[in-house]
C-alpha cells in the first residue's frame, strides 16, 4: 500500500483483531505490545489520573481495565499505585478469550488476583466498578462504536475513568514504525503499529465523541509519547 495521508483517519482491519490469527502469532504480538508499553511508560498517564480520582476515597476500590490484552497495564499499575495489591480489586475485560487466558497466567505469575470478563464492549454493558481504564482500543473502532464503548465505560464507573489512545500525527507514525521493529520481530506488531496511528483520532475529533457518549465533563489532553488522555470524574456518586 502506498503512502496514506494523515489528514483523515484511515481505518483498516488489524492483524491482531483477526479471530483466525494463530495462537503463536497472537502470543508474540501480545509480548511485543507489552514491551512497547513498558518502553513508552504507558502506565504513567493512568497512574497520575487514578491517584487524583482516589484522592478523597480511602475505602477498598475496584478498577476495571477494558481491552486488557495480556494484562501488562494492570500488573504495572497494581505494583506502582499505593495499595495497588491490597486496597484495589482488579478486573479485566476483553473480547478475546485467548487474551484473557494470558491475563490470568501473567497475573498469577505476578502474584496478583484478578477477575476476568469476556465482553464485546461495543454491544455489552460492563460490570459496575469504581474506576474504568482503557488503553489503545478506541482507534480500532468506527466512530459510532467509539461512542458506544465510551457510553458503557461511563455508565460502569462510580468515580470516573481514564482512557488513553494514540494521536494521529506524522511524528507518531515514525515512532510507531521504528519502535515496533526494535521491540519485536512480530510481523503482526509491525503491521498493526503503523495501521493504528493511521486509524487514530486527533484530540479535536475525540471531543465530540465523548460528548455524544454523555461524558460532558471530559478533559482531553496530550500525553507522552504522541498519545492523548481522556479523563472524567463522575458527577453522580453511587453508594
Dihedral sign (CA 6, 216, 153, 143): negative
DSSP 182-199: HH---HHHHHHHHHHHHH
Give the helix/strand (H/E) hosting 178: helix 170-183
| Cell numbers placing 29 | 504480538
Check if the beta carbon of residue 212 is closer than 8 Å to that of residue 141: no
Query: For 53-76, what is the mean pLDDT?
Result: 91
Residue 239 has pLDDT above 50, yes or no: no
DSSP 8-state symbol, 139: G
pLDDT digits (tens, 9 = 90+) for 155-200: 999 999 999 999 999 999 999 999 999 999 999 999 999 999 999 9
The pTM assigned to this predicted structure is 0.91
Residues 192, 188: Cα–Cα separation, whole Å: 6
- Phi, psi dihedrals of residue 132, rounded to the nearest 5°: -110, 145
2 band by pLDDT with thresholds 50, 70 and 90: very low
- Enumerate the domain spans of the chain: 41-167+202-233
Check if the beta carbon of residue 184 is closer than 8 Å to that of residue 31: yes
pLDDT digits (tens, 9 = 90+) for 112-161: 999 999 999 999 999 999 999 999 999 999 999 999 999 999 999 999 99
Q: Which CATH superfamily is domain 41-167+202-233 in?
A: Vaccinia Virus protein VP39 (3.40.50.150)
Residues 75, 160: Cα–Cα separation, whole Å: 20
3 band by pLDDT with thresholds 50, 70 and 90: low
Amino acid at each position: 500500500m502506498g503512502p496514506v495521508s494523515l489528514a483523515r483517519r484511515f481505518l483498516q482491519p488489524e492483524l491482531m483483531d483477526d479471530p483466525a490469527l494463530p495462537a503463536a502469532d497472537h502470543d508474540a504480538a501480545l509480548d511485543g505490545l507489552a514491551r512497547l508499553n513498558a518502553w513508552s511508560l504507558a502506565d504513567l498517564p493512568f497512574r497520575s489520573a487514578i491517584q487524583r480520582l482516589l484522592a478523597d476515597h480511602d475505602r477498598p476500590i475496584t478498577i476495571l481495565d477494558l481491552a486488557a490484552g495480556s494484562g501488562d497495564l494492570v500488573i504495572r499499575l497494581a505494583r506502582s499505585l499505593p495499595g495497588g495489591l491490597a486496597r484495589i480489586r482488579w478486573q479485566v475485560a476483553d473480547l478475546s478469550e485467548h487474551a484473557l487466558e494470558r491475563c490470568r497466567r501473567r497475573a498469577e505469575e505476578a502474584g496478583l488476583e484478578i477477575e476476568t470478563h469476556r465482553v464485546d464492549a461495543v454491544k455489552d454493558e460492563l460490570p459496575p466498578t469504581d474506576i474504568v481504564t482503557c488503553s489503545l482500543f478506541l482507534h480500532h473502532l468506527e466512530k459510532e462504536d467509539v461512542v458506544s464503548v465510551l457510553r458503557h465505560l461511563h455508565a460502569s464507573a462510580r468515580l470516573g475513568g481514564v482512557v488513553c489512545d494514540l494521536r494521529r500525527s506524522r511524528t507518531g507514525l515514525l515512532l510507531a514504525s521504528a519502535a515496533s521493529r526494535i521491540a519485536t520481530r512480530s510481523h503482526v506488531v509491525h503491521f498493526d503499529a503503523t495501521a493504528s496511528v493511521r486509524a487514530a483520532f486527533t484530540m479535536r475529533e475525540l471531543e465530540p465523541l465523548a460528548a455524544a457518549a454523555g461524558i460532558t465533563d471530559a478533559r482531553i489532553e496530550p500525553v507522552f509519547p504522541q498519545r492523548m488522555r481522556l479523563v472524567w470524574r463522575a458527577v453522580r456518586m453511587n453508594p
